[in-house]
Amino acid sequence: MWYSEKKWPLYTKHSVPLSKDIIAKILATPQGERAYGVVEKLFDAGFDTWWVGGSVRDMLMGVISKDIDIATEARPEQIAKIFMRCDLSSALLGSVRVGLGKHLLEVTTFREDDEASDGRHPESVIFGKREDDAKRRDFTINAIYWHPISGELYDPLGGENDLNENLVRFIGKPAIRIRHDALRILRAVRLRALIDGQYHPETYRALQEQVQSVEILSGGRQLEEIEKMLKLKHSRRAFEDLWELSILRYILPELHACKGIAQPSDYHQEGDVWEHMMRCISAFQKDDSDDIRMAALFHDCGKAKTFSLRDRIRFEEHATISAQIATDVLTRMQCPRKRTEKIAWLIKHHMMMSTFLSLGEERKAHWYFHPWFGELLRLFAIDIAGTKPGNDSLLRAIEQDFLAFLDRHPRPPKPLMTGEQVMEILGIQPGARVGEVLQLLREAQIRGDISSEEDARDMIEKLL
């Protein structure tokens, strides 16, 4: 058929008003080519199938999305007959992951809204037509469909006009949309920051009135949205909205408490702790890790608990307190234990910069060879960027000292023993003692006292 023979969409008088350059670029990407192929196969089989959601919104904004959502009238069992390789584990929810080569793409059957919902997940799934599928989506700018073969745009709810106005608007009655899924409160905030936009008045009022619904959400879902916000170009806008709408009161009261906590004017002319935090998250660079971003967000949250006024404003032990608060929060949000420990370590040691230059070689080895030291340096830099005036002379001196130290002392090889091995030899459970033994082994390895796993085992056995 004509459309299956084309590797390029046709443009008709009803074609999508998209830049040809953007279309060419996304179809040239691996994900674009695969998503085109999925639509082509389902279209050849006679099923109405489109790209939808964020990828279409991004294309209209001139951005190439990494993920492409595909929606179709084909039922899961029909999809399974067309594609040789399918993951049907979510078929009851109308979603099938289909295989093209080594890759899997998610294809969702058109669905109607389910009026019975507990705010977390639907009671059932009702399959429907494309127009039903559009109405059950969250925001108008996420309910725009594009056909990569015909080049047609399907926009029944005015999403393109809203996008031109940079407007975030719930589909239908906002309060009902939130009651169907409370996660939409956080998604609204993230979406506004993503497009650097504004809220429709009715959407804004609903967010204010339904804010307590976020308590329904699991910690894992809350954490996922917070991390997505931290990656946005306009992340500050998202967190200002979280505070203004009182969302933080319910999901992160530890951060909400930071607004209005004054700082010593000699060192922090930017203002209160909240302002410092916002300047820090605005200083993120594209390649900053998720752990650095999370550590920067929480690095000074302990100041709300440690504020004191004597000769000047002081925050005694605020780094240690902040690390403990972050540990409690991330545990509550179901963050993996090892990752939580790393983030807390970065926060706990973020005030140590003034000590590094005065350390002896052995103590420098302890820090400079630490696997997280590079990220600690980056957290220092973000902390300085969030401070007014920001003086980075000490940071630059440490970076030079670090490089000079590595020239004098090449990094040691891979550790000779794992924590699991230490626990097995000593017959102990996970805890601080394991870390202490691993550090002793590391320092002995750096000095050259041990050089093999057998040496390490002998050293541990002597500790018995």
The predicted-structure confidence for 359-413, as pLDDT tens digits, reads as follows 999 899 999 999 999 999 999 999 999 999 889 999 999 999 999 999 988 776 7
pLDDT at 121: 54
pTM, rounded to two decimals: 0.83
- How confident is the model over 414-434, as a mean pLDDT? 84
- How confident is the model over 208-235, as a mean pLDDT? 97
At 292, the amino acid letter reads I
- 171 and 158 both lie in a single domain: no
By C-alpha distance, which of 317, 372, 363, 364 is closest to 341?
A: 372
- How confident is the model over 129-147, as a mean pLDDT? 95
- 401 and 352 both lie in a single domain: yes
Q: What span, in angstroms and rounded, lies between the C-alpha atoms of 374 and 408?
A: 18
pLDDT at 29: 92
CB count in 10 Å sphere of residue 147: 20
Q: Is the predicted pLDDT of residue 119 greater than 70, yes or no?
A: no
pLDDT at 270: 93
- How confident is the model over 177-199, as a mean pLDDT? 96
List the single range of 6-10, 57-61, 245-249, 375-379 with lowest mean pLDDT: 6-10
pLDDT at 115: 57
Measure Cα distances from 188 to 121, 200, 217, 238, 250 in Å: 18, 11, 15, 9, 16
Q: Is the predicted pLDDT of residue 345 greater than 60, yes or no?
A: yes
- How confident is the model over 133-151, as a mean pLDDT? 94
- 175 and 243 both lie in a single domain: yes
In a domain, residue 269? The reply is no
Return the bridge partners of 108, or none: 71, 95
CB count in 10 Å sphere of residue 450: 21
Residues in the chain: 464
pLDDT at 258: 97
Sorting pLDDT into bands at 50, 70 and 90, what band is 123? low
In a domain, residue 270? The reply is no
Sorting pLDDT into bands at 50, 70 and 90, what band is 460? confident
At 115, the amino acid letter reads E
In a domain, residue 276? The reply is no
Residue partners of 426: CB distance under 8 A and separation at least 6: 433, 437, 460, 463, 464
Q: Helices in 127-252 by DSSP H: which ranges? A: 130-135, 159-164, 174-180, 183-195, 201-209, 219-230, 235-244, 247-251
- 97 and 123 both lie in a single domain: yes
* Residue 402 burial (C-beta neighbours within 10 Å; 0-12, 13-18, 19+): middle
- How confident is the model over 417-441, as a mean pLDDT? 85
Residue ending a domain, choose from 110, 128, 163: 163
- 103 and 238 both lie in a single domain: no
State the chain's mean pLDDT as an integer: 90
- 335 and 349 both lie in a single domain: yes
- 207 and 89 both lie in a single domain: no
Domain range spanning residue 35? 1-163
| DSSP strand pairing (95-100 vs 103-109) | antiparallel
- 397 and 369 both lie in a single domain: yes
